[in-house]
Structure 1
Amino acid sequence: MENDDQIVEMQIKIAFQEDLIQELNQIVISQQAQIDQLNKAFGVVNARITSICSEIGYVNQGDEIPPHY
């Protein structure tokens, strides 16, 4: 009887672990979708900032070579 109880207990634990893995997988899928959406939005914002900077003639000082070079 003890072995049967242990087997049932292990089966219950495995079932809970499978449910947890499935739940975590859904969370990862959701987070990846959010990351993809944020990356797309960042690309749009970055392109717009670059366009505006180009329109107003802004030059990033980090891109210029200092006069002493």
Structure 2
Amino acid sequence: MPEQLDDLQERIAHLQRAVDDLSETVARQDKDIALLQHRVNLLLEREAARESDGGGGVVFGDERPPHY
């Protein structure tokens, strides 16, 4: 019986460590997602401002500028 108790305690310790590791991972990913969402919003705002200023033309890499 003491061996079973030791085995269960060891398993619980491993499971607790796994839960803690996963919790840290989720917390880090939450921060990363929030930062990425903020950056996307900034890019969307910048693009909207650029389009409202009339500079919304599309330039292709192999296209010569109009002054050539």
What range describes the TM-score normalised by the shorter chain of this pair?
0.7 to 0.9
Q: Which runs of 5+ in 1 are unaligned?
A: 59-69
RMSD over aligned CA atoms reads: 1.1
**Are residue 53 (structure 1) and residue 61 (structure 2) matched?**
no
Report the TM-score, using the length of structure 1 for normalisation: 0.77
Residues 19-58 of structure 1 aligned to structure 2 (within 5 Å) = 19-56=17-54
Identity of aligned residues (%): 21
* Counterpart Cα distance in 2 of 1:56 and 1:10: 68
Question: Offset at 1:13?
Answer: 0.2
Measured against aligned partners, the alpha-carbon deviations of 1:18-65 in whole angstroms (never above 9, x if no partner) come to: 01100000000000000000000001000000000111075xxxxxxx
Report the TM-score, using the length of structure 2 for normalisation: 0.78
Q: Which runs of 5+ in 2 are unaligned?
A: 57-68
